Amino acid sequence: MNFEPFDTSLVVERLKALVPDLREVGGAADYAAVQELRGFQTPSAFVIFASESGNAGPGPRGARVQPAVSRFGLALAVRNYRPGAGDQLGDELRKVLGLTRSALIGWVPPTPGATALAWEAGEVMDYDHSTVLYVESYQLTHLLQK
C-alpha cells in the first residue's frame, strides 16, 4: 500500500548527488532552523513539501488507485553582491538555478506512478546586501494505491 504523500527526501538526495556546489541541502526542519538571512550557508537548498491534490472520483484504475498531484518548494540561499537583488539575478544565483533545474526538471522519482518533475515558478522572496533567498515550485503526479 502507498497512501503516503510524495517523499521529498528523494529530491534532497538527488540534489546532494548531482549538485556538489551546494554547501547544504536539507528539508523543511533545516530551513526553519535558520532565523535570519545571514544564518544561511551559501549556496544552499531546502526542499519543502507544499501541497497535494487529487480529484474526488476514482482514479484511472478504479477506487483502489488514485493519482495525486504533489507540489514542493525549493528554497535557494546564495550570496548577493548586487545592491537591490530585484533588479537582476546575480551570477551565482543564475548558476545555482541552472544546476538545480538541470538536476530536477524531467527527473522521474522512484515512486509508484510518478511522472517527471515539472517546474512551475520561481521568485526572489527576500534579500539583503549579502544573501538572496529565491524560491521555486515544482510538481509531479504519483499514485495513491492499495
Express the helix, strand and coil content of the chain in percent, nearest 5 each: 25, 40, 40
- Mind listing the pLDDT tens digit for each residue in 29-57? 999 999 999 899 999 999 999 999 987 66
User: In the numeric block, which cell numbers belong to residue 102?
Assistant: 538541470
Tell me, what's the pLDDT at 62? 58
C-beta separation of 63 from 57 below 8 A: no
User: In the numeric block, which cell numbers belong to residue 49?
Assistant: 513539501
- Asked if residue 43 has a cis previous peptide bond (ω within 30° of 0), the answer is yes
pTM comes to 0.88
Average pLDDT, the chain: 89
Distance separating the N- and C-terminal Cα atoms of the chain: 4
- Mind listing the pLDDT tens digit for each residue in 102-112? 999 999 999 98
Domains, the chain, with CATH or none: 9-145 (3.30.2000.10)
